[in-house]
Amino acid sequence: MSTKPEVTGFFEPRTWSIQYVVADPETGKCAIIDPVLDYDEKSGTTGTEQADKILAFIAERSYELEWILDTHPHADHFSAASYIKEKTGAPTAIGERVTDVQRLWKGIYNWPDFRDDGSQWDKLFADGETFKLGNIPARVMFSPGHTLASITYVIGDAAFVHDTLFMPDSGTARADFPGGDARVLWNSIQAILALPDETRIFTGHDYQPGGREPRWETTVAEQKAKNIHMSKFKTVDDFVAAREARDKTLPMPKLILHALQINTNGGRLPEPEDNGRRYLKIPLNVLHETAW
């Protein structure tokens, strides 16, 4: 039985996101992790170019889609999970603590009737829960700190960490979003770095420091040796001090108030109003204490 999935990354340059197709080479079963729904905030236009590219790749390889997986409700892009489910019928999943994020943002958006029970997804994974991708064993690690609900999918020898660790030259994710916590993030990273050294680490973003080409694959060993934060800050207090100081200088992602109302709802766009158009709701001055 293979424990090494085939991993194909799809870089989305608007938001520096990496979407993944993870496949069992023996059975052809696959999962999509963190697919992006295209969105242009200037014109309010949505599109499916990124998702359709992934679906075309799966069809070309004759893969069978078993799962549409999100690591957390994203703050910088719309999730294409709902669109891909409509196209394929494959089940969607996320970590069960998404309900904490839903309750938080339900208040921010003043949505008294919003369902905050996670029922927008077909499956809510618990910490430590196991499943299979084809014949490859997989499990879920609760990895909060960046958000209340972040999880890592460990599929065979590959760990999909999204916003906990970046490539070694970029360090770690911010922890100042509503519900974020740098001390909690440290603990989540320590759990990931306790995986076997040869574990392949796949990141959710790459911001191309110095203008280099996008990269998204590293290993636990490389992260421990070279990550500009984890190789430098050896105690939780040092890490928290550096992370919080850095976060105070960072503006919020430009799409955070756009994206969370979509992504806490499983990637569904708002229902059309009586004129047939859909509308986003942007709360004013709710994140006013952050850098511009």
Q: Is the four-CA dihedral 279, 16, 186, 152 of positive or negative sign?
A: positive
Fold of 6-263: Metallo-beta-lactamase; Chain A (3.60.15)
Residues of the chain with pLDDT > 90, as a percent, come to 97
| Rounded-to-integer distance, Cα 163 and Cα 143, Å | 9
Cα dihedral 52, 57, 59, 62 in deg (nearest 10):
-160
pLDDT at 3: 86
Q: In the prediction, which pLDDT does 48 show?
A: 98
Q: List, for residues 64-88, the tens digit of each pLDDT value.
A: 999 999 999 999 999 999 999 999 9
Q: How high is the pLDDT of residue 1?
A: 54
Of 165, 160, 163, the residue nearest 146 (C-alpha): 163
For residue 222, pLDDT over 80 is answered with yes
**Confidence (pTM):** 0.96
